[in-house]
Amino acid sequence: MTENSYGFATDAIHAGQELDEVYGAVVPPLHFSTTYAPDGIGNLRRGYDYGRAGNPTRTSLQTQLAALEGGEHAFSFGSGLAAEDAIIRAVMRPGQRIVMGNDAYGGSYRLISRIHGDWGIANTPLDLSDLDRVANEMAAEDATLLWVETPSNPLMSITDIAALAKIAHENNALLLVDNTFASPYLQQPLSLGADIVVHSTTKYIGGHSDVVGGAVVTSDDELATKIGFQQFAVGAISGPLDAYLTTRGLKTLAVRMDRHCSNAQAIAEHLVDHPAVERVLYPGLPDHPGHELASKQMRGFGGMVSVQLVGGEQAARTVAEGTRLFVLAESLGGIESLMNYPHEMTHASVRGTELAVPENLLRLSVGIEDVNDLIADLDQALEGLAGRG
């Protein structure tokens, strides 16, 4: 599925997008049919029989996703969490334990702790930059899945994927990487040793804030069989229109990400010097603790910037509600800039837990608008706030 010599941007546009044989349509037609007539009993024409089991529009997206992550198999789901749920069901059994970052996406932690917790799956959140501690945890018999998100949401910490793959494999465990924040353009975890990549395609892959979806990519045939069976038997598939919109978004991922990265870098550099700002969390800043590692395992530093304000919670609320271009909304990764107050929005579900986020923190999803307009918008929202010293 993936062996070719094309570059990323070429694959993004061509992988899985064969010319339509009937009309020569350059864009593959969108298939809504839920059922497929065999050529006589038991004689499927192209392998399709029923829409939950397979759909050509979904296949087209899955081929594109596999090529871009450098994997052999991809599965497209109705949401990122549906994809995560399918993985957990496929690879975990009661009595086993997931070791995960202590700043993972709140919804992933909620799924693992409050849904799968009830079915006997334990979890241990910890600081994944502490490799000795991770190795100790993974040495336990019940630790069978290591769950990594890098860069993490919303603290932007960077985790060493290759080092964690080694630790997981030495302990007969699997390494999963949630690659939502980086996107396959900036980081390809399978090439660094990860066993499974998961995405919320709702974010950078779809890229236009108009379709919810998720994806799983792996090169392991056995894992793929298990995950494929989960998808078929449970049914959390993406519908044809959602798959089509995601494919359309994915075609422009490379050019979008380049702009997200350069805009985010400029904003991070601008905010570092702002008196109302206590700290900027962006791996593209040379003094970010993960800068060197990110330079090694990523092609660019991404479009997400988190900021802590001198004026605490009140200042964060004022800025979150005071921007004009940055829209106050959950989610990320779209072409338009979004502002999020994680403490009460995306990460409200982890308040009071080990995964709680600081009250003075804002998370910016930097879009691809003109960067001068974005900087001016942030400056006017920050004006008049308590400053440093």
- Answer yes or no: 178 catalytic: yes
The two three-digit tokens of residue 169, written as one number: 């494999």
Does 48 participate in catalysis according to the annotation? no
List all residues 6 or more positions away from 266 whose beta carbon is below 8 Å from its beta carbon: 371, 375
- Of 15, 67, 74, 81, the one binding ligand PLP by CB under 6 A: 81
Which residue, 203 or 288, has its beta carbon nearer to ligand PLP?
Answer: 203
**For ligand PLP, which is the closer residue by CB, 137 or 149?**
149
Does 200 participate in binding ligand PLP (rule CB under 6 A)?
yes
Q: How far is the CB of 284 from ligand PLP (least distance, A)?
A: 19
C-alpha–C-alpha distance, residues 371 and 265, integer Å? 10
276 near ligand PLP, rule: CB under 6 A:
no
Nearer to ligand PLP, 108 or 265 (CB): 108
Number of residues that bind ligand PLP (CB under 6 A): 16
Q: Which of residues 45-74 bind ligand PLP (CB under 6 A)?
A: none
Instruction: Please report whether residue 107 would count as binding ligand PLP according to CB under 6 A.
Output: yes
Centre a 10 Å sphere on the Cβ of residue 150 and count the other Cβ atoms it contains.
28
214 binds ligand PLP (CB under 6 A): yes
346 Cβ contact list (under 8 Å, min separation 6): 105, 106, 107, 153, 154, 330, 340, 363
Considering the rule CB under 6 A, would residue 106 count as an interface residue with ligand PLP?
no
Q: Shortest distance, CB of residue 355 to ligand PLP, whole angstroms?
A: 13
Is 203 catalytic? The answer is yes
Neighbours of 233 (CB within 10 A): 11
Minimal distance in Å, beta carbon 209 to ligand PLP?
A: 12
The DSSP result for 16-78, as a single string, is: T-PPPTTT--SSPPP---SB---SSTT--SSS--BTTT--HHHHHHHHHHHHHHT-SEEEEES
DSSP state of 310: T
The sheet with strand 122-126 has its strands ordered as 73-77, 214-218, 196-200, 174-178, 143-149, 97-101, 122-126
E strand or H helix that includes residue 340: strand 338-340
State which of positions 138-197 bind ligand PLP (CB under 6 A).
Answer: 149, 153, 178, 180-181
Closer residue to ligand PLP, CB minimum distance, 318 or 349: 349
Interface residue with ligand PLP among 79, 102, 337, 340 (CB under 6 A) is 79
Residue 203 or 256 having the CB closest to ligand PLP: 203
> Taking the complex as a whole, how short is the minimal distance between the CB of residue 369 and ligand PLP, in angstroms?
21
* Binding flag, residue 105, ligand PLP (CB under 6 A): yes
Beta strand 174-178 with 143-149 is: parallel
Using alpha carbons only, what angle is made at residue 290 by residues 287 and 291, rounded to the nearest 5 degrees?
A: 55
- Nearer to ligand PLP by Cβ, of 54 and 214: the residue is 214
Residue among 113, 61, 2, 111 at smallest CA distance from 237: 61
Residue among 36, 105, 185, 204 flagged as catalytic: 105
Minimum distance from CB of 180 to ligand PLP (Å)?
A: 4
Report residue 169: phi and psi, to 5°. -70, -35
Point out the residues that are catalytic: 52, 105, 178, 203
Applying CB under 6 A, the residues found at the interface with ligand PLP are 79-81, 105, 107-108, 149, 153, 178, 180-181, 200, 202-203, 212, 214
